[in-house]
Amino acid sequence: MHTLLPISLFALASLAKCLPGGGGASAIPSSSTSYWFPQRVDHFGLNSTAWNQQYMVNATFYKAGGPIFLVTPGESPVSTFYIDRSHFTELAQKTNGLVVAVEHRFYGKSNPMPDLSGPSLRYHTVENVLEDFASFIRAAKKTPLSVFPVPVSANSKVVFGGGSYGGAVAAWMRAKYPSLVAGAWASSAVLQYRLDNHQLDQSWGKHLQALGCASQVSNAVKDLDLILLSGNTTAIGHVQAQFGIPPLTPRDFAGLVTSMISAASMAPNYNDTDYTRDTVCSFFNGKQSNLDSYAAAVTSMIKSMGYSQYDLTQMADTNLNLDNYALGQSGRVWYYQGCAWYGNWQVAPPSGCGLTSYRSSLVDLTYFQPNCKRKFGNNITIPVNSAGFNRKWFGGLKGVSNIYYTVGSLDLWRGSCVIPWDGYRLPNTTASPTFLIDGATHTQDLSKTSAYDLLSISLARAIGDKQVLKWIK
């Protein structure tokens, strides 16, 4: 990690040494090279200090006039995966295009402020995030050699891509900056936010139902809750040891194991592989109790992932080191978005609503929300205005064309995506094409082509490729 000193905007020209600029070298540089683009801390306010945003470029296939595929990893650090091993790499090869992955502010090494305190994170707004990308695109169009390591045509069309939260960013970019973004591929885009997102729990249940182990997992969660709510410290300690989990509060323990087990459905499905079947349902084989099977699945995950007891303690800590404001804590930044932007807390369904629960009842809004003020200060409003966020950012998608929305039928986040479980597409997306990918999980269409791909994945990519060709003409 590094710390960037604040630099006033009038000094941005001196940052040229951070940019590829200048010579139009004939050799294509390695795609593992990091470049840095100067941005304002606050594009719409008085804080005009500058910081450097990290990005990477794959210019292997670029020819004059080819498109620019701009992708963001969203809440993850930028890496060569996004420019070398994604479907956008394949699209670049087909269209003589260039792929550039631009890191999202406050994630990875792209830090507008020297820490992640509440006052620093007040500059973490959707408006600033989108303007970061817009500023980059403007520079790429006006003075390409100040941005790219090879000569790029100033009239190259820009296609914005992203998955999950990054897919929402892609859609918002097309909606807010249509003159800069010719089209957007929004894979598994999380577009509908709620204060309490128990729909995610129901999406997880749909996958378990498809595999035939839903009732066993639900009953295991109920059995676990009976112990955790009993107040019997001996029994609680025994079950934590059985799960291979270090001593935690009952709520932190419940939050950890339920998020670990449901995260299995984020892994991609192939013709011969369903990760949820192999790592969850296979343990519920009738040879032991549901709770024992649940514990066996969790301990197996811990072993396969190589998690230490310290790792598990950190993963379960909803306080996320309250007094630690150091950079590089993606979990803290992501938590801030929930507190300040949209909520969307991953909780169990409300009791008495008639829904089967696959997540511990201890994981509710009172598990998440009280931490917001303690983490980020009294300027945080509880509860966050999720409905207002939707009105602004989902409402802004109405009538917007040239967005390709995809979602897998077994996507954990499908309840928040363009075609939720009722099968009807979200109304504000009707001006653009959508595709429901049968048997797929989260953002699976953005992966590079594999011989083991589901037929539906190949079809989704083919439809998307046709859309891209129309956008870049």
Give the least confident one: 292-301, 396-405, 414-423, 450-459.
414-423
Predicted local confidence at residue 26, as pLDDT: 54
Which tokens sit at 65? 């006039």
Given 383, 398, 428, which residue is the final one in a domain?
383
Residues 325 and 352 in one domain: yes
Residues 105 and 236 in one domain: no
Report in angstroms the alpha-carbon separations of 8 from 4, 17, 38, 131, 317.
12, 16, 11, 18, 38
pLDDT in tens, 337-384: 999 999 999 999 998 899 999 999 999 999 999 999 999 999 999 999
Residue 229 lies in a domain: yes
pLDDT in tens, 10-69: 222 333 334 454 434 457 888 899 999 999 999 999 899 999 999 999 999 999 999 999
Residues 44 and 90 in one domain: yes
- Residue among 191, 215, 196 at smallest CA distance from 353: 196
Residues 15 and 121 in one domain: yes
Strand order in the sheet with 183-187: 35-40, 50-58, 98-102, 68-71, 158-163, 183-187, 403-408, 434-437
Residue 290 lies in a domain: yes
Residue 279 lies in a domain: yes
Given 324, 350, 383, which residue is the final one in a domain?
383
Residue 390 lies in a domain: no
Mean pLDDT, all residues of the chain: 92
Q: Is a pLDDT exceeding 80 seen at residue 157? A: yes
- Residue among 440, 426, 425 at smallest CA distance from 206: 440
Residue 34 lies in a domain: yes
Given 348, 383, 418, which residue is the final one in a domain?
383
Residues 301 and 431 in one domain: no
Residues 240 and 335 in one domain: yes
Residues 150 and 35 in one domain: yes
Residue 395 lies in a domain: no
Give the domain range for residue 263.
Answer: 199-383
**What is the CATH number for 429?**
3.40.50.1820
Residue 389 lies in a domain: no
Residues 126 and 235 in one domain: no
Residues 298 and 277 in one domain: yes
Residues 317 and 206 in one domain: yes
Residues 23 and 54 in one domain: yes
Instruction: Give CA–CA dist 441/267, Å, rounded.
Output: 7
Residue 4 lies in a domain: no
Which tokens sit at 331? 């979990």
- pTM attached to this predicted model: 0.93
Predicted local confidence at residue 5, as pLDDT: 29
Residues 168 and 248 in one domain: no
Number of domains, the chain:
2
Instruction: Give CA–CA dist 155/63, Å, rounded.
Output: 12
Per-residue pLDDT, averaged over 317-323, amounts to 79
Instruction: Give CA–CA dist 85/450, Å, rounded.
Output: 11
